[in-house]
Structure 1
């Protein structure tokens, strides 16, 4: 295991060849000032053109045009937390850009062996775990390339993916 920076993790997005997958296990995140600001605006009922998502969506569009794939599986408690309702409401541009996002109610994954933290996996070769504080702040990014860890994450992601509901078909209560 190697601790890496956000910038080092970012290089994986620029260099992966086939697929980046993301498993989200938390009901709340506070990962950037911009996201916290947009979440507060959403809670206040302010209109949002979602232009702040453009850099991410541009990255996805470029990768998809190159034949790469982005998949995200979100394990969620129901009813959704306030943050998860926000996340559901703002991911439309990501889906339109080509990111495959699915939702799975937490009660469906009880028998799935899951790693202890969220992760991004790149080309089934490298896993970057995000370790969060109780307040939703990232405290560490842990890079693993050990084949056993990669297999654990691949198997967990695919098991969750098989149980999940595509974004357009998921209707949060």
Structure 2
């Protein structure tokens, strides 16, 4: 089943305990970000201590209610311009309560994770995030049936990754 609009928002924000996102691409083409990316490349940065958005507000609310939001982004170095831009937002997201993690495959083989972005909510609802090679989103598809493989991929991704803060300490990102 395709998820869009209100149906997608209900799934994305309606979880009870946990939400996990696996990101596999070096760039995502998101409407409205081109100008921000250009500004970033020209040296403009957000202040991670004062930055606020609808997403950071939701993260704080989820954390306050005991719900967890976790993300693992698979990367290789050197980071793409888009990843460097996206990383600028990971610090305030982490401060707001998201467990942001990085799995760097630059000097190691993939430990068995798919080349497929997905969300898993409350261990039972999986949504595949499908993209064109350039990062343009095609659609979101609700997975029907067994979710055990996705739970295992989540476990593997979390186990094999490091916190965003540790990745930045080791490799930097700007």
TM-score relative to the length of structure 1: 0.88
1:52 shift after superposition: 7.5
Give the RMSD, CA atoms, in angstroms.
1.9
The reply on whether 1:115 has 2:114 as its aligned counterpart is: yes
Change (3 A) 1:7 1:53: farther
Unmatched segments (≥5 aa) in structure 2: none
In the superposition, relative to structure 1, how do residues 76 and 11 fare at CA in structure 2: closer, same or farther (>3 Å)? Answer: same
Contact preservation (8 Å) 1:73, 1:101: yes
Secondary structure class of the residue paired with 1:58: helix
Q: Which residue of 1 aligns with 2:99?
A: 100
- Residue 91 (1) aligns with residue 115 (2): no
Q: For 1:91, what is the secondary structure of its paired residue?
A: helix
Identify the residue that residue 160 of structure 1 maps to in structure 2.
Answer: 157
Deviations 1:116-171 (A, max 9, x none): 42011110111111111122111111111311xx1111111110110111011113
Q: Secondary structure of 1:21's match?
A: strand
Distance, in Å, in 2 between the alignment partners of 1:154 and 1:140 is: 21
Tell me, yes or no, if the aligned pair for 1:125 and 1:145 is still in contact at 8 Å: no
In structure 1, C-alpha distance between the alignment counterparts of 2:149 and 2:109, rounded to whole Å: 15
Separation in 1, partners of 2:60, 2:5: 21
Contact 1:31–1:137 (CA<8 Å) still a contact in 2?
yes
Q: How many residues align?
A: 168
Gapped regions of structure 1 (runs ≥ 5): none
Which aligned runs of 4 or more in structure 1 are off by greater than 4 angstroms? 49-53
Structure richer in helix, relative to its length: 1
Deviation at 1:70, TM superposition (A): 0.3
Contact 2:45 2:88 in 1 (8 A): no
Q: Given the superposition, is the C-alpha separation of residues 109 and 25 from structure 1 closer, same or farther in structure 2, using an over 3 Å criterion? A: farther
